[in-house]
Amino acid sequence: MVTQMHPMNKAVQALVPMMEECGIAESPVLLTPDYDLPKCAYERGVPVQVLFGGRSAVFVSDEPIKATTKASFMTGSSLKKSAQRAAAGGIMNAVSGFLCTVRKLHACTQTDHAPCRDELAKILKSKHVYCCGDMPDVKKIAGNSLVDKPEEADIIIMNNEGIISDEATLLSDIPSEKILYVGPSTVGTAKLLQCEHFCPFGRANLQTSED
């Protein structure tokens, strides 16, 4: 019997050789909760700002995370706890930003929420939708197309809560083309797993609206 692996562990496995090749695995990373950071419409929790190599990223966690660590903490870690997964997700975002493989490192502004919902509605039109994570906005958009079981879905939406949940392991056998990661918290993991990511108005930093 093949043991299923949580997607965050898979993403870490993909990132580790990239960090080792660049010699940045032992570089410091700072995680600090910042309640004033803007949040994605599809994310709920505490925004945690992650600083690495001069790049700033965010992961919205179900609990405040404050730590000074190294990117290498993820190497070989089982990431069994949701807080460990959230920290790893934030670090993957910041490191991926440092490596210039992703740019949507922060949420858009409140004024972009409405057009973002409109863009997502176009993607979800005529599709059966399953949500991995609590995201009322997505469920409202899906309406009667929302299904209770992932196997019944045409598309599975994964947000910050879903990506650190145990349920994500159960979805690891789902074809990647059926999963859509949403919000800045999931950007690094989605890129490392080569999955689709939706964050049309996300920002590279907090000072501009740069894509």
**Helices and strands (DSSP H and E) totals, the chain:** 7, 8
Residue 39 pairs with which residues in a beta bridge?
none
Inter-helix orientation angle 82-98/7-22, to 10°: 40
Q: What is the DSSP letter of 107?
A: -
Contact 156, 180 (CB under 8 A): yes
Phi, psi at 146, each rounded to 5°? -70, 135
Interatomic CA distance for residues 176 and 146, integer angstroms: 19
CB contact set of 132 (below 8 Å; sequence gap of 6+): 150, 156, 157, 158, 159, 162, 163, 165, 167, 168, 171
Q: What is the pTM of this model?
A: 0.92
Whether pLDDT at 165 is above 70: yes
- State the CB neighbour count (10 A cutoff) for residue 3: 5
Residue 183 Ramachandran class (φ > 0 left, ψ -120 to 50 alpha, else beta) = left
Interatomic CA distance for residues 54 and 185, integer angstroms: 18
Of residues 147 and 207, more confidence is placed in 147
* pLDDT tens digits along 116-164: 999 999 999 999 999 999 999 999 999 999 999 999 999 999 999 999 9
* pLDDT tens digits along 65-115: 999 999 998 988 899 999 999 999 999 999 999 999 999 999 999 999 999
Nearest to 48 by CA among 24, 1, 8, 84: 84
Strand 129-132 to strand 155-158: parallel, antiparallel, or no bridges (unpaired)? parallel
* pLDDT tens digits along 35-76: 999 999 999 999 999 999 999 999 999 989 999 999 998 988
Nearest to 202 by CA among 116, 108, 110, 117: 108
Q: What confidence score (pLDDT) does residue 1 get?
A: 45
Whether pLDDT at 211 is above 60: no
Whether pLDDT at 208 is above 80: no
Whether pLDDT at 210 is above 60: no
Interatomic CA distance for residues 160 and 27, integer angstroms: 25
Whether pLDDT at 188 is above 60: yes
